Amino acid sequence: MITLIIGGIKSGKTNFALRSALVLNKRNYYYIATAKAIDEEMIEKIKKHKEERGEKWITIEEPLDLTCAFREISENSSVVVDCMTTWLTNLIVEERNIEFETEIFLSLLSKFRKINQIHIFIVTNEVGMGVIPETFLGRKFLNIAGIFNQRLMEISDEAYFMIAGRELRIK
């Protein structure tokens, strides 16, 4: 099963995903982190988030190859993938073939969706509610993320939009 959790920055997406995953009483809990520890602030933020999640969560740090990260997932598990827009940013910065990478990931999700003992929570930022960036790269990112989010919504079994720490079920 796939649950998409979408919303603005600091809207409570990750917290909701983690709480929802724990309620399922699975044997294993995986947190796939796409963020890179690129500076001291990010290093501290990542460390703090690991401590907040606690020992119950197996953290897999994978900023680019999500297929590799999913190879570590075992049966009877809850998986939180956080966050798709960070992952897309990493792909753009590394000049990866985004269309190819996103197709592979969507295909992977479709396969995992059929495994009934695994529940995947996908966290992503809604990018279509702000101003249009004035730079080409900013507009390119909005287009890529907006289309990818639509594709994620299509394959998700359920979806929630987060607003100020409250979830609104949309699918």
- Catalytic positions are 49
Nearest partner of 108 among 140, 81, 145, 143, judged by Cα = 81
Residues in Cβ contact with 24 at an 8 Å cutoff, skipping those fewer than 6 apart: 78, 119
Query: What are the phi and psi torsion angles at 7 (to 5°)?
Result: 170, -175
Residue 53 CA to residue 31 CA, distance in Å, equals 9
- Residue 40, SS3 per DSSP: helix
- CB distance 26 to 78 below 8 Å: yes
